[in-house]
Amino acid sequence: MLGTDIALDLGTSSVKIYLDGKGIVLNEPAVVAVDLETDEIVATGKKAYNMVGRTSGRIRVCHPLSGGVISDFDLAKYLIGAYLKQISASRVIMPRVVISIPCQITEVEKRAVVDAASSAGVRKICLIEEPVAAALGAGLDISLPHGSLVVDIGGGTTDMAVLSLRGIACARSVRIAGNAFDEAIIKYIRRKYNLIIGQRMSEECKKTIGCVFPRKEIQTYRVKGRNAMTGLPQWADITSDETLEALIDSAMQIIRVLQEMLEKTPPELMGDIYSDGMVLTGGSAQLYGFDQLLSKKTKMPVRVAPDSQSCVALGAGKAIAYVDSVDGNAYGVLNPLSDAY
């Protein structure tokens, strides 16, 4: 198992590892809990996620990735190393790794990803941009001279791109995604009900009744937290229409960036996209009504990819087949930084 090539979807919310020939073998939250007195790592993944909002002053729960890029290098390095050890029986032959990254990130941010992964002892690292990986994972054939539009809405970033002939013709990346939706619900409930709720409560509310297009039947969800004035426990029943009011601004910001990208897209590719429509991937693509809202605003068909949450990891896994084609030259799908990795 150990020399097997690996694909790593290094997301803001979760880390997924795809093992060549086996599929996705690990899917854990990208969260680390640190003991502030000893600087020791207390927990990672699901154990650390269960501590969010429930820790003492001694323990801090951190997200090493923010906005799709590494915000705490040491913790990210530890997290990648810990997860690679989980799926590796021994460390005799380290694997080659394909890592997905947001499009339009800086060279410094790319280098941080490469350094964090190489410190785990990886032989060779290839980077693949998330829209390309998402398109491959959604089953699109991007090798043809035909335009395909993919919108990947993750936890930290929304990446969108028009793809043709194995490359990106036009792309945009915006740091508004799942986490921004959670924050929008927190702010809305505080403003309307004077009620302070945590991130996990907000996320549960979003998953249960959240929407960006009116639901046929109004649903309710009870949120619990602390009264901002008295400091006493309080709850409120939130309706799906209220979540629509809270989330619509963030959703429209994503749509405005998409519309601006489409204005820059070559006309021939626009013709292909108009007939085929766009594909939505990423965890937040499952937010109720996002496909309907996009379709209404762009006047084109929109479909949510099956298993949208895993599309980037599956696509990066398919790209493993191209690793041998990369010897310092930029390949259509992969983009390695240098021969050294």
- Tens of pLDDT, residues 114-145: 888 888 777 788 899 999 999 999 999 888 89
109 lies in the same domain as 151: no
297 lies in the same domain as 256: yes
pLDDT for residue 3: 54
DSSP 148: E
- The answer to whether position 333 is within a domain reads no
- Tens of pLDDT, residues 219-272: 999 999 999 999 999 999 999 999 999 999 999 999 999 999 999 999 999 999
261 lies in the same domain as 225: no
- pLDDT (mean) for 147-167: 92
pLDDT for residue 234: 95
- The answer to whether position 337 is within a domain reads no
How far apart, in whole angstroms, are the C-alpha atoms of residue 264 and residue 26? 38
Beta strands at 167-174 and 158-164: parallel, antiparallel or unpaired: antiparallel
Predicted confidence band at 301 (pLDDT cuts at 50, 70, 90)?
Answer: very high
Percent of residues, the chain, with pLDDT higher than 90: 63
Cα angle vertex 322, ends 22, 341, to 5°? 95
16 lies in the same domain as 101: yes
36 lies in the same domain as 92: yes
Highest mean pLDDT out of 12-26, 50-64, 200-214, 322-336 = 200-214
Strand order from edge to edge, sheet including 195-196: 195-196, 220-227, 233-239
CB 138 within 8 A of CB 122: no
Quote the domain boundaries for residue 210.
178-246
188 lies in the same domain as 70: no
Assign residue 276 a region (left: φ > 0; alpha: ψ between -120 and 50; beta: otherwise): alpha
- The answer to whether position 239 is within a domain reads yes
How many domains does the chain contain in total? 3
Cα angle vertex 28, ends 206, 333, to 5°? 95
Which alpha helices (DSSP H) does the chain contain, by range? 45-49, 73-86, 107-118, 130-137, 178-193, 199-209, 240-263, 267-276, 290-298, 311-318
H or E element at residue 278: strand 278-281
74 lies in the same domain as 211: no
- The CATH number linked to 72 is 3.30.420.40
67 lies in the same domain as 126: yes
- The answer to whether position 213 is within a domain reads yes
Predicted model pTM: 0.89
Of residues 252, 234, 239, 238, the one with CA closest to residue 181: 252
pLDDT for residue 297: 94
106 lies in the same domain as 11: yes
- The answer to whether position 1 is within a domain reads no
- Tens of pLDDT, residues 70-104: 889 999 999 988 888 888 644 556 678 899 998 88
45 lies in the same domain as 69: yes
Q: Which tokens go with 303?
A: 């479909």
Predicted confidence band at 150 (pLDDT cuts at 50, 70, 90)?
Answer: very high
- The answer to whether position 157 is within a domain reads yes
- The answer to whether position 231 is within a domain reads yes
Q: Which tokens go with 245?
A: 């009011």
pLDDT for residue 29: 92
170 lies in the same domain as 208: no
pLDDT for residue 341: 34
pLDDT for residue 337: 39
Q: Which domain-ending residue is among 246, 266, 285?
A: 246
Predicted confidence band at 329 (pLDDT cuts at 50, 70, 90)?
Answer: very low
Looking at the DSSP bridge assignments, the partners of residue 96 are: 124
- Tens of pLDDT, residues 269-284: 999 999 999 999 999 9
pLDDT for residue 333: 41
Q: Which tokens go with 96?
A: 């080659």
- Tens of pLDDT, residues 16-69: 999 888 889 999 999 999 999 898 999 999 999 999 888 888 999 999 998 878
Above 90 in pLDDT, residue 160? yes
- The answer to whether position 14 is within a domain reads yes
Above 50 in pLDDT, residue 1? no
169 lies in the same domain as 256: yes
- The CATH number linked to 189 is 3.90.640.10
Looking at the DSSP bridge assignments, the partners of residue 160 are: 151, 172
